[in-house]
Amino acid sequence: MNPSGLSGDQRGGSVDVVKDRNGIDQVLLRSSGGFSARVSLYGGQVRSWMTDRGEELLFTSSKAVFKPPKAVRGGIQIGFPQFGNRGTLEQHGFARNKLWVIEKNPPPFMIRTDSDGKTFIDLLLKPSDEDLKVWPHSFELRLRVCLGANGNLSLIPRVRNMNCKPFSFSFAFHTYFSISDIGEVRIEGLETRDYFDNLCQRERFTDQGNSLTFESEVDRVYLDTSSKVAILDHGKKRTFIIQKEGLPDVVVWNPWERKTKAMADFGDDEYKRTLCVDGALIEKPISLKPGQEWTGRLDILLLYSS
C-alpha cells in the first residue's frame, strides 16, 4: 500500500503501511538517500532504523516478544505519562502498550518541525476508558517521526491537555541503540552533571567529569543535561549524536549480565550489544493547564569515522 497523502513532503522518499505478524499496522519510511525506519502503531514504537548500507542502528532482542500487551524489547519506546515505576501507573506508563493511530492532518506545530523534504508520519494516541481509570486526565499525545535524506531521525512529541483541570506528566524516548560491544563505547556530554542512581535508591550524585564508560550495570537519570550528548562506538567506528529540546534529562541504562539473565525477553549476552540512552523529562514533570500543549524534540544524527 502506498498511501500518498499520509505524510507531507516525501521528495524521493516514500511512506508505506504494512501489517506485522499480529495484524497491526507498521509504517515504513524510506528516505531518498536510502535510509529507512519502521514505526509500529503498537506503542508508537520505532522498531527499526536502518542505514543506506543496510546496517540496523537500533537493537531488538532476539528474545523479544512480538505479541501485545508487552512492548517489544528494543527500538525506541515511548515512556508516558511517566517514566519509572512510581505511583499506581505501570512501569514507564501505558503509551508504549497502546494502539496509536495515524493522523493525516495534525494541528499546527508551535515549534520548527524542519520536516520539509523529509519523509515523515504523524501518530496520535488518545486515552481509552481503561486508561482514564488509571490516569484520569484526558490528553492527546502526538508523535511525528521524521527521516531525513541523510538518515537523521527526528522525533517530535506533543502533549495537549484536553481536560478541564491541569495535569502533569513525565516523558522519555527509551532508546535501545545497537552497539559493537559495551566495552567499546563511551558517552560524552554528561560530564559533571548530577544524576539519580537507580541502583542506589535514586540517591543524587555528581558525575566525576570523565566520559562515561561501562564495566558493570548502570541505571542513572542524568539531570538537566546539555542539549547534545554523543555515543562514541569505537568498534563500529560510528557516533550517534543525540540533540534534544524540551527533554532536559538523559537516562543511561545497561542491565549487565545478572539482570539481563533475569529478563525473559532479553538474550543472556545481549547486554553487550546494546545501550539505552534516553532523551527524557523526568526530574521536573511538565504541568499543563486545560488546552495547553507541550512540545519536545529529539534528533539522532549518525556520523562515521574512518
Binding residues for substrate: 73, 91, 96
Min dist. Cβ of residue 151 to ligand TA6 (A): 26
Min dist. Cβ of residue 59 to ligand TA6 (A): 13
Tell me whether residue 219 or residue 270 sits nearer to ligand TA6 (CB atom): 219
Tell me whether residue 91 or residue 292 sits nearer to ligand TA6 (CB atom): 91
Tell me whether residue 138 or residue 198 sits nearer to ligand TA6 (CB atom): 198
Secondary structure of the chain: what % helix, strand, coil (to 5)?
10, 45, 45
What is the C-alpha to C-alpha distance for residues 151 and 131, in angstroms, rounded to an integer? Answer: 35
Cβ within 8 Å of residue 105, ≥6 positions away:
none
Q: Which of residues 203-242 bind ligand TA6 (CB under 6 A)?
A: 219
Tell me whether residue 91 or residue 168 sits nearer to ligand TA6 (CB atom): 91
Min dist. Cβ of residue 156 to ligand TA6 (A): 23
**Residue 47 found at the interface with ligand TA6 (CB under 6 A):** no
Q: C-alpha dihedral over 92, 93, 97, 101, to 10 degrees?
A: -120
What is the C-alpha to C-alpha distance for residues 29 and 151, in angstroms, rounded to an integer? Answer: 11
Instruction: Give me the sheet containing 46-50, strands edge to edge.
Output: 14-19, 25-30, 36-40, 46-50, 76-79, 167-178, 274-288, 249-254, 218-222, 194-197, 203-206
Q: Which of 253, 272, 280, 282 binds ligand TA6 (CB under 6 A)?
A: 253
Tell me whether residue 265 or residue 293 sits nearer to ligand TA6 (CB atom): 265
Min dist. Cβ of residue 260 to ligand TA6 (A): 11
Q: Which of residues 68-97 bind ligand TA6 (CB under 6 A)?
A: 91-92
160 three-class SS? strand
H or E, element range at 155: strand 153-161
What residues make contact with ligand TA6 under the rule CB under 6 A? 91-92, 198, 219, 251, 253
